[in-house]
Amino acid sequence: MIKVIIAVDENQKTFQTNFKDMTILELADELGIHKNTIGAVLVDGVPKKLHEKIRDNTEIYVLPILSGG
């Protein structure tokens, strides 16, 4: 089981999904999250790259691109 927290827009969404052998980017695609909206991904609190594989029993936090001045 994987806990996914998505905060790429004004609404944060949290849900759990069954583990599948895939990358973070493949999971994002499956969830309808375009990679250009992802600023960072934390897996169990550790920054990860989109091409890295997902492991079972993890928490994935998808963060938006930050901008400002």
Helix (H) or strand (E) holding 41: strand 38-43
Q: What is the pLDDT along the chain (69 residues), one digit of tens a residue?
A: 999 998 877 778 898 989 999 999 999 999 888 899 899 999 999 999 999 999 999 999 999 888 776
Residues belonging to the chain: 69
**Cα–Cα distance between 15 and 13 in angstroms, integer?**
7
| pTM for the predicted model, two decimal places | 0.85
Q: Give the pLDDT confidence score for residue 69 in this predicted structure.
A: 65
| Domains of the chain: residue spans and CATH | 2-64 (3.10.20.30)
Beta-strand (E) ranges in 9-68? 13-17, 38-43, 46-48, 59-64
